[in-house]
Structure 1
Amino acid sequence: MIIFFSFVFLSIFLVSPYAFGKPVVSLNDMNFHLSRAYESYFQINNGNIFHLIPDINTKTFGSFGLPINSFYPLYMMLPFVFIHLLIHSAYASYLIFLVIIYIAIFSSMYIASYKITKSKIAGIFSAVIYGCCPWITYDMFEGRDFGENLAFIVIPICLYGLYQIMVGNYKKWYILSFAMALLVLTHIVTFTLFLFFILISCGFLIINKNNEGLLRLKYLLIAGITAFGLSIFDIITLFQNYKSLGSISIHIFQLSQYTNNFSDMLTNRFGIIEPIILILSFIYWKKLNSFTKYLVLVTLAFVFISSNQFPWDVFQNYLKFLQCPWRFSTLINLLVAFIAGQLIKNFKIKTKYLLLIGTILVSVSSVLTLNMQFKHNPTANNSIYINKENFEKIESSSNVIDYIPENDGSNVTDLLFAHSIPKSNSKKQITQRNWKTSYNRIEYTINNKNKDTNINLPNIYYPGYHALVNNKEVPISVDKHHLISIPIKHGINKITLIYKKTLLTLIGILISLLTFISLITYIIKKNHFSNTNN
């Protein structure tokens, strides 16, 4: 408990600079992720706790029914929603959420390192190096990418699960399954990076002459299939939306322009401690186990891959979804923290404490220095100063239109945000009386002065949408811009769009539920059998 409360105190201390003065907010990633959470908050505030996970966004992101949660699951953002429901202040809720994220980052790295090394000092050492690394500080307070911030919590557990399969107790393969499934539901790009790391780690089993190599590969495959089963309810919804649209628009960067250069590595990515750890790993090379040695080499490879020396332009068309190659910094800092925990075991107890105290002082000072820099110079990443009273209004107003049909953005954006059927059907004599939204529902009332006709709605079609005209369901067709097209009658038409989970999604939910129940049953029986034998 002392260690946990130390992490609590440290987390509060690191976030504390933002509790004073005007808030600094980002109009990019922070705005996007908090708007996702505010959809849930607004729906629950309307009086129904069962509206916690909306299928479409009818209060945020333009309120035209974009199914953000099917592309970017909301689950890990829910603590912010619950905090905000309890605390009136939106900005205070945000700061408390940051503290909770930090506590979870420190704790997950501590648990992973401690479980592997059986040393509390090693666990604390790893946790401090990981949680206070410049990359996490940058991403928490400058990039403010909540999806990636939350992934920082999950990947130490992924690493612990992978370690068990590679060199530990491979019968604990289910740890990797749970962690990877959670990573899918948190940040798909970080999941992709860690999946790439797992594939590279398989090389260890190939080059390491061990009779258990094939057996461990088998359990790795089982862990992967189980993780897929646990998360298929989300993957299958993402797949059907992608298939329906053909392709989706996401913000694409030129990869070669978002790499690490030498100055980045010593400031916003790795700092001073991480290179020292890598140097020490070679000094104490003989005392490291074979898997840790392998990870040292993998870490160096990732440093090269994340740098501007790697030919990213060659891979632009294939890996553009990564957006920024410097995201490999996540894996680099994770592995360095793990290696640090392995290294500190080789020192005498007095030296261990001196190293730990020195690391804490340097790491915390580094975080506070970077925080003060970000706070007093909010120029990068489209950040601004605001009044605390405006925090909710600004951070719930993201107008990001990713996840609509690719190349259709310029043609339909104005229509989507106008919520106007007359604008979507400018050549027809239609007047609109009202427009309103509620949970998974969008309603229009129009007067059609034409004969019976088909009209386009200012809403993009995704599988799951149903249309009712005057309380009777009508067939939906899709125009060339993927706008919903429906038949209407002459005169007054009350149009209702309702989103319902598709049969494919329901099947995915059932598979995930059965996988979860089966896995829990397996773990209980396994532990019971183990205890009985003991």
Structure 2
Amino acid sequence: MKKEKQYINIFIIFLFILVSLLMIIPLVRNGRINAYSDWTFHSARVQQIYLNLQRGNLLTFIATDVSQHTGVGTFLFYPYLFLYPWAIFKLVVSPVTAFYLWYASITLLTLIISYYSMMRFSKENYVQSLIFAFVYMLVPYRLYLGQVVLGEFIAATFLPLVFLGLYEILWGDLKKWYLLSIGMSLLVYSHILSVYLSCQVIALIFAGYLILSKISIKRIKVLLYSAILTIFLSLPVVVLFITDFIGKGIATTFTGIAIEPEFNSVIVDSFRNWNGFNIGLILMVTFIIGGVIVRKNKQLKYIYVLGVLLTIAATSVVPWYMFSNTILGKVQLTNRYFSFGDLFLAVIASYGLSRLFDKKLDIVRKSILMFLISIGSVFIFYASSTWVLQETHTYNKELYLLLQPKKKNGVPKIPDRVQLDNNNYNYQFEYRSLTGSSDYYPIKAYDNQSKVDSILNQETYINGKRRKLIGRYNTNTIKYRISLKSKSRVDLPVIKYNHTEVYVNNNLIKNSRISDRGTIDLTLDKGMNNINIKYQPNFSFYTCVIISAIIWLLLFIYIVKVW
């Protein structure tokens, strides 16, 4: 029995690798990427990591070569750990292939985590676990995220682990309480807003638990321990928010509800099963008849209700306008609840579909069945992504990104949708990103578009007069050489954070000023001034990195021992 279990798990991992590669082969062969929405924002971050790795530097804190050389902290406050594989792939293969290899890697990780999570929940039902992994991975909304909203796309990978951990704490094996901490920590390293959303859903589940079940003080204590462990596992991210963000007048993305998918459109688009703001054919059928599927299973009834409620919450059925200026307004895009609704409905779908197969299949027939399900999932992916494959199949003159000409009126935003290949891939970094260009700017600039434009256009002000200077850019460092005829006040287009250090002629300027647009403001002497601006976190950051690494290591050793 043990050998059979090992064989099946190895065979399933092989199938996951095969599917992940088969999904990207047509896209790699096309050699093109259709980029829009958040894609260029994240590709710029990858480009900065890639350049820094080329220089032999592992950690990136601010954008110096990209994002118009403004030193913006898109790495300080937006986690980037899971972008490293993409940057590493770029070191060895072409940019387009690197992205698709990264996409396949995230897909593979999603399949493995989903499979493991359902194996725990279903008490080692291989067929149900395999089906769950593929259904969850193939949800149209998740496929949509993989084309445009890459932070949320990464976060979706770890949601099954988060809610498996919560299940173990509230109803399952308390010895597995650390799974919630691991899942939540991985979310922290992926997408902070997904952490916020997950906490909302966890609070909803916990409230239901208190109402419908007997309160176990021990389980509540363990839930608290899990929250504490999550903080320690995530210390490097947490400490930067404490030292450089909280109370420092830094803006984030907007607050308010910007998108509410129409419920009728969600239904129609789900039956079409194309990538976008919908739950897909399988989950829409589950949404409609799931109550019948789980009528005899109390636990699955709760999961089904959660899936239905969270799917509805993603749409305009909820009067979201009433919450736009509340803490719920931080959701920004209500479609983000689809990821959670998809997860719970996928549990019900996998349960229903797995009941169609004979439980007593021998290992050979079971292997054949799993292989057929895997190959079928590839064709479902192709069908769902038809328009993506079509758009990348041929050169499109209207979408193909051209080199941005130098303009006196500043740096233009990249078009809404562009086609990239290995020849024009780097052109995108000459434009402003479609979204996120001014995220993590000081509020004094963020709320004033003319100030934002002046920074992005790299405008320096010397005694109030506008001037264009070209800097030299390195890892977390920007340098300028300025020759002055007299003592002058100089406002440089580089964002000033709490731990941004400024040196003039090798002398550290203590308590350097911040201009009214949130940038470096200096008084310089007559003559040549060599200015070196760099972000240098204090010892607390590196201390937290060491502490967190030790805790991760100890946790890994513990898991290996108990397994």
Shorter chain as denominator, the TM-score bin is 0.7 to 0.9
Query: Amino acid of the residue matched to residue 305 of structure 1?
Result: A
CA distance in 1, matches of 2:111, 2:497: 39
Task: Report how many residues are paired.
Answer: 513
CA distance in 1, matches of 2:491, 2:265: 52
CA distance in 1, matches of 2:104, 2:557: 34
- Deviation, structure 1 residue 483: 1.7
- Deviation, structure 1 residue 112: 0.7
Match runs of 1:398-413 below 5 Å: 398-399=432-433, 400-406=437-443, 408-409=445-446, 410-413=449-452
CA distance in 1, matches of 2:551, 2:178: 11
| Number of the residue aligned with 1:44 | 53
CA distance in 2, matches of 1:357, 1:226: 39
| Number of the residue aligned with 1:464 | 499
Provide TM-score, normalisation by structure 2: 0.83
Match runs of 1:278-293 below 5 Å: 278-288=287-297, 290-293=298-301
Structure 1: unaligned runs, 5 residues or longer: none
| Number of the residue aligned with 2:524 | 488
Contact in 2 for aligned 1:35/1:398 (Cα 8 Å): no
Range with bigger deviation, 409-418 or 434-443: 409-418
RMSD across aligned C-alpha pairs, in angstroms?
A: 3.0
Q: 1:138 aligns with which of 106, 123, 144?
A: 144
Contact in 2 for aligned 1:34/1:396 (Cα 8 Å): no
| Number of the residue aligned with 1:498 | 534
Contact in 2 for aligned 1:133/1:333 (Cα 8 Å): yes
- Deviation, structure 1 residue 36: 0.7
| Number of the residue aligned with 1:326 | 335
Provide TM-score, normalisation by structure 1: 0.87
| Number of the residue aligned with 1:300 | 308
Helix, strand or coil at the partner of 2:452: helix
Contact in 1 for aligned 2:458/2:493 (Cα 8 Å): yes
| Number of the residue aligned with 1:376 | 390
Query: Amino acid of the residue matched to residue 71 of structure 2?
Result: G
Contact in 2 for aligned 1:234/1:508 (Cα 8 Å): no
Decide whether aligned partners of structure 1 residues 247 and 351 sit closer, same or farther in structure 2, where only a CA change above 3 A counts.
farther
Q: What CA deviation, in whole Å up to 9, does each residue of 1:457-510 have, x standing for no partner?
A: 221210111111111111201222222222322211111112110355345435
Helix, strand or coil at the partner of 1:446: strand
| Number of the residue aligned with 1:388 | 422
- Deviation, structure 1 residue 516: 3.7
Decide whether aligned partners of structure 1 residues 93 and 395 sit closer, same or farther in structure 2, where only a CA change above 3 A counts.
farther
Contact in 1 for aligned 2:184/2:230 (Cα 8 Å): yes
CA distance in 2, matches of 1:396, 1:233: 31
Matched, 1:246 2:249: yes
CA distance in 1, matches of 2:513, 2:290: 62
Q: What CA deviation, in whole Å up to 9, does each residue of 1:224-275 have, x standing for no partner?
A: 11101221321231243333542404256643x3334222242432122113
| Number of the residue aligned with 1:69 | 75
Q: 1:198 aligns with which of 191, 198, 202?
A: 202
Helix, strand or coil at the partner of 1:287: coil
| Number of the residue aligned with 1:474 | 509
Query: Amino acid of the residue matched to residue 259 of structure 1?
Result: P
CA distance in 1, matches of 2:427, 2:174: 49
- Deviation, structure 1 residue 280: 4.7
| Number of the residue aligned with 1:101 | 106
Range with bigger deviation, 302-311 or 347-356: 347-356
Decide whether aligned partners of structure 1 residues 330 and 228 sit closer, same or farther in structure 2, where only a CA change above 3 A counts.
same
Richer in helix (by share): 1
| Number of the residue aligned with 2:412 | none
Q: What CA deviation, in whole Å up to 9, does each residue of 1:381-418 have, x standing for no partner?
A: 92222343212442685542211123524233343234
| Number of the residue aligned with 2:405 | none
| Number of the residue aligned with 2:134 | 128
Helix, strand or coil at the partner of 1:308: coil
Runs of 4+ in 1 over 6 A off after TM superposition: 350-362
CA distance in 2, matches of 1:13, 1:345: 24
Query: Amino acid of the residue matched to residue 315 of structure 1?
Result: F
| Number of the residue aligned with 1:228 | 231
Matched, 1:33 2:42: yes
Match runs of 1:410-429 below 5 Å: 410-421=449-460, 423=461, 425-427=463-465
Q: What CA deviation, in whole Å up to 9, does each residue of 1:295-350 have, x standing for no partner?
A: 21111111221111101111112233322101111001111122234445655517
- Deviation, structure 1 residue 373: 1.5
